[in-house]
Chains A and B, each alone.
Chain A
C-alpha cells in the first residue's frame, strides 16, 4: 500500500496526463474524419479547375491534389505512432546491446535494430565512432548503418499505406537481407585498418546516462515531438516527390515506362540503381514516385532496387562518412551495397514475372 502511494505521481500531473491522452484520442478521431473526405474533396477540386477532363494535365493534377494531403496525413499518423514506439529504443541502448556480439547473429540484430533506432545523417559520425570504439564489430556497425536510413519505419509505414502490405513486406525483407549481407561481407574483409587513424585511437566507455521511466503521456509527447521534428525536415522532399510522381502519372506513357523499367531487360536493374545512387531523398519523398512507377507497369524488383539505392547510398552521407572512413573503405561500402541491391532486384524480377 505504502509503496504504491509513493510511486504514483502527484494528482495534478495525473490530470495533465489524462488531458493529453484525451487530446490524442480526439486528434485521432478528427484525423479519420478528414481522411475519409479526401477523395471526394480532391475530385471536386479538380473538377473546379479549367482543365479538360481526361487530359494529361488533369491526370497529373488529380494525382497531386489527392496525394499531397493523403501522404502528409499518413506521414503524420505513421510518424506519431513510431515516435511512441521509438521512445523504447535509443542509440545508446542499441550499442550496449550490440557490443561484443559476434558477427553473423550480430549483423542480423544490428539490421533489425536499425529499423527502430532513431538515426539522422547528422549524427552518423558520432554514432559510427561510438559503436566501433565500444567494441561493436565493424561489419555489425555497417549492417546498422545501412539498415537505419533504408528501412526506417516511416518508409515502411508509407509503403504499407500507399502501395500495399505485400510490397512493404517485400521491401522489409529485402532491405534486411541487403544490410545483413553487406555488413557481413565488410566484416569478413577485415578492413579495420582502413578506418581513419583517429577513429582507432578513440577509447571510450559508454556514458552512464540516468535511465528514466517514461509514462504513457511521455510517450505521446515523444510522438508529437517526432511529428513536429520529422515534418519540419521532410515536407519539402515529399512535395517534390509527389510532383515527380504526378508528372510520371500524367505524362509518361505506360508503354515507354514498362518498356524501360519492366522485367524484360537485364540492364533495367543496374540502370535504376546507378540513377538512384547520386539522388538523395528522404525515404518518405521517394514513395510517391514509387507509387507512380508501379502504377505505370514498372517491375517491382526494379522499383525497389531504385528506392534502396536512393535511400541507402547518397552523396551527402558519403561526404559525412569520409571523416571516419578512408576513401578505399567508402568505395568498398558503396560497391558491396550496390551489388547487394542489384542482386535483390534481379532475384525479385526473376522470381515474380
Chain B
C-alpha cells in the first residue's frame, strides 16, 4: 500500500491531480491510499512553492501543475 498525498488548497487542478493518481494506480494495479492535504501550513511544511504537489510515502516527487502520466507511472511503480 502506497501512501499518496496530494498537496493543494482545493483548486480544480488539485482535484484533477488526485483523480489522475487514482486512475494510474488502478491501471497499474498498485493499491494506494490517497489523502488530500489542504492546510496551507502543512503544504508549506513540505517545502514546495507551487501547487498541486504530490508526496509518495513521505517523499515529494512533484510540484506545480498537472503531473505527466508517464511520470506518475514511474513514481507509483518505484518501490
Q: What is the interface of chain A, defined by CB distance below 8 A to chain B?
A: 90-92, 94-95, 118, 122-123, 125-127, 129-131, 133-134, 198-199, 201-210, 225, 323-324
**When the two chains form their complex, are residues B44 and A126 in contact, meaning their CB atoms are under 8 A apart?**
yes
Complex CA gap A127/B9 in Å reads: 12
Q: How far is the CB of B35 from chain A (nearest CB, A)?
A: 17
Enumerate B23-79 residues with CB–CB distance to A below 8 Å.
40-41, 43-51, 53, 60-65
Jot down 7 A-B pairs with beta carbons below 8 A, ordered by A: A91-B50, A123-B11, A202-B45, A207-B60, A209-B61, A209-B62, A323-B40
Binding site for A on B (CB under 8 A): 7, 9, 11, 13, 40-41, 43-51, 53, 60-65
> Is the beta-carbon distance between B9 and A126 smaller than 8 angstroms?
yes
Most buried by A among B13, B49, B51: B49
Tell me how far the C-beta of B21 lies from the nearest C-beta in chain A, rounded to whole angstroms: 17
B7 neighbours in A (Cβ, 8 Å): 126
Q: Of all chain A residues, which has the CB nearest B48?
A: A207
Q: How far is the CA of A209 from the CA of B46 in the complex (A)?
A: 11
Contact A123 B41 (CB under 8 A): no
Given contacts A123-B64, A209-B60, 7 further A-B contacts (CB under 8 A): A90-B64, A92-B48, A125-B9, A126-B44, A202-B44, A202-B45, A207-B47
User: How far in angstroms is the closest Cβ of chain B from A87?
Assistant: 10
Bound-state CA distance A206–B60 (Å) is 10
Decide: A91 near B47, CB < 8 A? Known: A118-B64, A122-B9, A202-B41. Answer: no
- One of B9, B47, B53, B65 near A204 (C-beta < 8 A): B47
Residue in A130, A198, A208, A225 whose beta carbon sits within 8 Å of that of B49 in the complex: A130
When distances are taken between beta carbons in the complex, the residues of chain A under 8 Å from B49 are 91-92, 94-95, 123, 126-127, 130-131
> How many residue pairs bridge A and B at CB < 8 Å?
80
- Bound complex: CA of A131 vs CA of B44, how far in Å? 9
Q: For the complex formed, measure the closest distance between the CB of B76 and the CB atoms of chain A, giving whole angstroms.
A: 15
In the assembled complex, which residues on chain A have CB atoms less than 8 Å from the CB atom of B65? 118, 225
Residue of A nearest to B43 (CB): A126
Chain B: CB-nearest residue to A133: B44
Tell which of A123, A134, A198 touches B50, judged by Cβ atoms closer than 8 Å: A123
Complex contact A91–B64 (CB within 8 A): yes
Q: Residue of A at shortest CB range from B13?
A: A122
Q: Which of B9, B41, B48, B61 contacts A198 (CB 8 A)?
A: B41
CA distance A90 to B51 in the complex (A): 12
* CB atoms of A209 and B63 under 8 A apart: yes
Give Cα distance in the complex from A202 to B9, angstroms. Answer: 16
Q: How far is the CB of A153 from chain B (nearest CB, A)?
A: 16
Q: Smallest CB-CB separation from A226: which chain B residue?
A: B65
Chain B residues with Cβ below 8 Å from A201 are 41
Q: In the complex, which residue of chain B has the Cβ closest to the Cβ of A130?
A: B49
Residues of A within 8 A of B44 (CB): 126, 129-130, 133, 202, 204
| Cα distance, A204 to B63, chains bound together (Å) | 15
By beta carbon, the residue of chain A nearest B71 is: A212
Between B44, B47, B51, B53, the greatest number of chain A beta carbons within 10 A of the residue's beta carbon is seen for B44
Minimum CB distance partner of A218 in chain B = B68
Q: Which of A126, A127, A209, A210 has the most CB of B within 10 A?
A: A126
